[in-house]
Amino acid sequence: MSEENQNLESTVTYDFSKAITGITVSTAYISGLSRILTDMVTNYPNPAGLPKLFKKFSAIMQLEDGQEITDEIQKDLTLDINESNIYTLFSLLQLLRFLAKEQDLELHTETTATKDDLKDLADLVTAGKSTADKIKEINSKMKIVK
């Protein structure tokens, strides 16, 4: 059979207007997805553009169900593939965190980390340097209290 006459394979797609129901998800996914998201953000090709990116995410989340999306809104909220990947994880994490809180599954942590620690971490990210030691230092200052 020639290549021109071969059928394309069927694929599965999903109805984006529907929601999956009746699932149980381990809270460990929150930490795992958060770690992946943190890695994606720290390796983002344009660290200076991150505040604008998260502002765009906020605008997307503010859209009302059924709201008409004008061409101007669509242009302002269009995501490239990297932004879309980050948004997918970000929004999924928001949902999982909301559900965990609603179900009283959160453990509260106290920290002695400071704003200076976070500034130092942000400076390392912006400079494209390794953040591993700074993250370990900040994590060592965390204590679960609940």
pLDDT score for 72: 75
Closest CA to 111 of 138, 79, 84, 81: 138
- Which pTM value belongs to this model? 0.65
Cβ-Cβ contacts under 8 Å for 92 (sequence gap 6 or more) = 33
pLDDT score for 1: 52
Per-residue pLDDT of the chain (146 residues; tens, 9 = 90+): 556 678 888 889 999 889 899 999 999 999 999 999 999 998 988 888 888 898 888 888 887 776 777 777 777 788 999 999 999 999 999 999 999 999 999 988 888 899 999 899 989 988 888 999 989 999 899 887 77
Cβ-Cβ contacts under 8 Å for 134 (sequence gap 6 or more) = 117, 120, 121, 124
